[in-house]
């Protein structure tokens, strides 16, 4: 046995549902009619975990992209500790090549 769930769209003009046809032989005692808002709430609760996971993954990707962009921007700066170290190494290498 199963329940058939139908949702009724909000209709401002009248309360007559249009376009809902049931198969022949369906027991009306086995049917539950839900308002559209309730059906949407149920669907949202079922997909909440997947949406949360997708949101978290998108945030992680955005943070990683920002980090890579920042690293690429700072890579050639000479006024940082790492930049000064690179300049010293390059200078040392140039001096050794001259000798």
Q: Give the model's pLDDT for residue 84.
A: 86
Q: Please, which residues bridge with residue 34 across strands? A: 7
Instruction: Give every CB contact of residue 29 below 8 A, 6+ residues apart in sequence.
Output: none
Burial (0-12, 13-18, 19+ Cβ within 10 Å), 39: middle
pLDDT in tens, 27-50: 777 777 778 888 889 889 999 999
Q: Give the model's pLDDT for residue 2.
A: 47
- In order along its 99 residues, the chain shows pLDDT tens digits of 345 555 555 555 555 555 566 677 777 777 777 788 888 898 899 999 999 999 999 999 999 999 999 989 888 787 888 888 888 999 999 999 998
Give the three-state DSSP class for 32: strand
Q: How far apart are CA 59 and CA 52, in angstroms?
A: 11
Q: What is the mean pLDDT of the chain?
A: 81
Q: Domain boundaries in the chain?
A: 28-98
């Amino acid at each position: 046995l199963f329940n058939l769930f139908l949702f009724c769209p909000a209709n401002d003009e009248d309360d007559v549902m249009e376009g809902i046809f049931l198969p022949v032989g369906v027991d009306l005692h086995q049917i539950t009619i839900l308002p559209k808002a309730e059906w949407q709430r149920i669907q949202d609760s079922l997909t909440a975990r997947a949406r949360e996971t997708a949101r978290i993954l998108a945030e992680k990707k955005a943070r990683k992209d920002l980090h890579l962009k920042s690293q690429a921007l700072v890579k050639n700066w000479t006024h940082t500790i790492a930049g000064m170290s690179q300049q010293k190494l390059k200078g040392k290498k140039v001096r050794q090549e001259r000798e």
